[in-house]
Amino acid sequence: MREITLSNGKTVAVECLSCAITNGLIEIDGGVIVETEYFHAHQDVAYPIKGLVILASKRHIKCLDELNEEEMIDYINLLSKIRKAQREVLGIEHVYYFYNEDTTHHFHTWMVPRYEWMNEFGRSVESVRPVLLHARNELNNGENVNRVIEGIDALREELNK
Ligand SMILES: [Zn+2]
């Protein structure tokens, strides 16, 4: 079990944070963007970047090759739909994707939009961590968080119509 401190200050003990989120045990800030039988999309508002989406499997697995046929199809379809919505609703031109298998969470893909301001942290994969830390430490203010929530709402509306 791990102790997780939520953004509202409450502490919960969970086996796996991803399981807790995708099963609806923990309500995340901004809520669910879209979900299917096998996947759950939300934003980690601890990293307030408008249009950032985390797409997590509902099943507790770690690696891409553990997905079964149905999950694979669902995954690529949902990933594509979210990407399209990021473009059409939020005007996001480029997205960086990553997932890592040696995580204490379970299988989830980060979809990190690329904005102009991120160029000061470099290009490509080495800029991702500094960008996320900058967002967490410097952009965690009311105005920006509101923009992030607007982004979540816009994506939710587009992806659930
Ligand atoms: Zn899990």
Give 123's contacts (C-beta < 8 A, 6+ positions apart).
Answer: none
45 alpha carbon – ligand 1 mean position (Å): 20
126 alpha carbon – ligand 1 mean position (Å): 27
Q: Determine the CATH number of domain 29-159.
A: 3.30.428.10
pTM, entire model: 0.92
Q: Mean pLDDT throughout 69-88? A: 98
16 alpha carbon – ligand 1 mean position (Å): 5
pLDDT of residue 48: 95
Domain boundaries, the chain: 29-159
CA distances to 53, 127, 138, 139 from 117, in Å: 19, 11, 13, 12
Q: Burial letters for 25-57: b for 16+ Cβ neighbours within 10 Å, e otherwise?
A: ebebbbebbbbeebbbbbbbbebbbbbbbbbbb
In this predicted structure, the answer to whether residue 161 has a pLDDT above a threshold of 70 is yes
42 alpha carbon – ligand 1 mean position (Å): 15
For 3-54, the pLDDT digits (tens) are 777 667 778 788 898 999 999 888 888 999 999 999 999 998 889 999 999 9
Give the strand pairing for 39-42 and 53-57: antiparallel
pLDDT of residue 151: 97
pLDDT of residue 47: 94
pLDDT of residue 9: 76
C-alpha–C-alpha distance, residues 134 and 84, integer Å? 26
pLDDT of residue 7: 64
Spatial contact of 159 and 77, defined as CB atoms under 8 Å apart: no
22 alpha carbon – ligand 1 mean position (Å): 8
Confidence of residue 2 (pLDDT cuts 50, 70, 90): confident
For 109-148, the pLDDT digits (tens) are 999 999 999 999 998 999 999 999 999 999 999 999 999 9
Q: Which residue has the tokens 């379970």?
A: 106
